[in-house]
Amino acid sequence: MNHVLIGISGGIAAYKVCEIVSSLAKRGIEVRVILTRSATEFVTPLTFATLSRQPAYTDADFWQPSHGRPLHIELAEWADLFLLAPVTANTLAKLAYGMADNLLTNTVLASNCPMLFAPAMNTTMWLQTSVQENWRKVLQDSRYTAIAPTDGILACDAVGTGRMAEPEVILEYIESFLLTGGKRDLKGKHILVNAGGTREFIDPVRFIGNPSTGKQGIAIAKAAIHRGAKVTLVSTASSPLPMGEGPAAVKVARTSAEMHRAMLEEFPHADITIAAAAVGDVRSQLNSDRKLPKSELPLNLQLEYIPDIVADLASRKRLDQILVGFAAQTGDEEEVIAAAKEKLARKGLDAIAANAVNSLQTGFGTDTNQATFIHKNGHRQSTPICSKLELAHRLFDFLQS
């Protein structure tokens, strides 16, 4: 069983941590919570003890006579992952300078597991020179991974940067870190990913398309961010990415032509490109700029082939670049693998993920997936049915094996 220790500082964003604790406990992850004295002014220890089904600790527990090993040592050694959320300006300063004046900060210094921290404070406070210096200082420690604050309306009615990341974003980081042990092996790398199903328009309201939602490509982009990479996502829909330590950009491309242009523009800068989008194979020669009346719609559409984006990228690939494709196939395992191997060779890829889409658990729009990764050198590895985020991490592990 995975052990997640959560440290809560005194900020209004403490209420968001209730959802995180509850979600983790429901997934069978053992959670324990430490609250600073000021954190108890926002949410009670009883709330977290109830949600986690475990004791919630405060400074009152820290200063009690010990009947065994010191509490901060026990908690530090118990944790597989330590989440600090929210991190206030006060706690950030303590982290930056290694201070230990309460149970939370003593436990931080006594631990050696990966640390996630999510700051939250008023915009003016966040932008203070001293706070930004402390932020940068903490990030110099390789054990710490930041979940950066976001823009929005704050509790004080100010609008700007300072909102703690939403629970679903933090939960995805936790899932990634429990899978990888907090690896930051993509730091310094630029990862380019495309996602979603393209639409080839007949007129402004009708198109030829496919059921792809882009979930797998977006999960790959998030996994790369969690592992420290700079990421560019070219998606058929606007898909916000978490703010990691490296920059992340999203470009929207609805049609194959738009996606082709965007990928060609970004490809020269990428170390690893993963083409997870379901790009159309054909498009209508008819493309009206006005909605056509039903009576004007041709019963027999004249179609033309769409240029192959991945094959074009492969023809431009440098020796230091890695290009990975996806093969969404139907049929039994043997048919899926055979089709993927043919695409791997024909398109000149470094690796391909063979993915059966004729399954309720691995088809378009599902939250789970399964794939067989095939390298051009013949190395092959299959995954179990798992979350799309886990499959993304398994793909990055495969590429580096």
CATH number of the domain that residue 166 is part of: 3.40.50.1950
Residue type, 160: G
Tell me the average pLDDT across 172-195.
96
What's residue 247's pLDDT? 72
Are 243 and 162 found together in one domain?
no
245: helix, strand or coil: coil
Q: Are residues 173 and 197 in the same domain?
A: no
CA distances 45 to 15, 27, 175, Å, are 12, 21, 24
Contact 224, 193 (CB under 8 A): yes
- Residue 155 pLDDT > 90, yes or no? no
3-state secondary structure of 63: coil
- 7, 104 contact by CB (below 8 A): yes
Residue 68 has pLDDT above 80, yes or no: no
Question: Residue 66 above 80 pLDDT?
Answer: no
Q: 43 and 51 in contact (C-beta within 8 Å)? A: no
Q: Is 204 in the same domain as 350? A: yes
Q: Is the pLDDT of residue 245 over 80?
A: no
Structure-token pair, residue 206: 């009708």
Does one domain contain both 194 and 175?
no
In 3-state terms, what secondary structure has residue 69? Answer: coil
What are the distances in angstroms from CA 278 to CA 25, 45, 96, 193?
36, 48, 45, 12
Which of 113, 146, 180 terminates a domain? The answer is 180
Indicate the number of domains in the chain. 2
Do the annotations mark residue 397 as ligand-binding? Answer: no
For residue 157, what pLDDT is reported? 79
Q: Is the pLDDT of residue 65 over 80?
A: no
Domain of 51?
3-180
Which residue, 124, 145, 180, sits at the end of a domain?
A: 180
Band of residue 250 on the pLDDT scale cut at 50, 70, 90: very high
Query: Does 137 count as an annotated binding residue?
Result: no
Structural domain contains residue 185: no
**Which of the residues 18, 113, 156, 386 is marked catalytic?**
156
Q: How far apart are CA 26 and CA 20, in angstroms?
A: 10
HSE value, Cβ hemisphere, 13 Å, CA-based, for 347: 24
Task: Provide the 10 A C-beta neighbour count for residue 309.
Answer: 25
Predicted confidence at residue 64, as pLDDT, reads: 79
Give the model's confidence band at 246: pLDDT under 50 very low, under 70 low, under 90 confident, else very high. Answer: low
DSSP secondary structure of 251-264: EE--SHHHHHHHHH
Cα–Cα distance between 319 and 52 in angstroms, integer?
50
Residue 67 is predicted with a pLDDT of: 64
pTM of the model: 0.94
123 with 199, same domain: the answer is: no
> Of the candidates 157, 180, 203, which is a domain's last residue?
180
**250 among annotated binding-site residues:** no
Residue 363 has pLDDT above 90, yes or no: no
What CATH number should be reported for the domain holding residue 264?
Answer: 3.40.50.10300
pLDDT tens column, 95-113: 999 999 999 999 999 999 9
Q: Is 388 annotated to bind ligand? A: no
Identify the pLDDT of residue 151.
85
Distance CA 185, CA 176 (A): 13
Burial class of residue 73 (count of CB atoms within 10 Å of its CB; 0-12, 13-18, 19+)? middle
Q: What whole-number distance in Å separates Cα of residue 72 and Cα of residue 64?
A: 12
Which of 14-18, 61-65, 285-289, 302-306 has the least mean pLDDT?
Answer: 61-65
Mean of the pLDDT values across residues 377-397? Answer: 97
Q: How far apart, in whole angstroms, are the C-alpha atoms of residue 89 and residue 162?
A: 11
245/367 same-domain check: yes
**Lowest mean pLDDT across 67-71, 76-80, 83-87, 347-351:** 67-71
Residue 334 domain-assigned (yes or no): yes
Q: For this structure, is 156 an active site residue? A: yes
DSSP, collapsed to helix, strand or coil, labels residue 16 as: helix
E-assigned strand segments in 302-377? 303-305, 322-329, 351-356, 368-369, 372-375
Distances (CA, A) of 283 to 159, 290, 343: 44, 17, 21
Q: What is the pLDDT of residue 243?
A: 72
Q: What is the mean pLDDT of the chain?
A: 94
Q: Does the pLDDT of residue 254 top 90, yes or no?
A: yes
- pLDDT exceeds cutoff 90 at 156: no
Q: Decide if pLDDT at 362 tops 70.
A: yes
**307 appears as a binding residue in the annotation:** yes
Output b/e per residue, 265-298; b: 16+ Cβ within 10 A.
ebbeebbbbbbbbbbbeebbebeeeeeeeeeeee
| 326 annotated as belonging to a binding site for a ligand | yes
Percent of the chain with pLDDT over 90: 88
Residue 172 has pLDDT above 70, yes or no: yes
Q: Is 8 annotated as a binding residue?
A: no
| Pair 77, 111 in one domain | yes
Residue 359, pLDDT score: 84
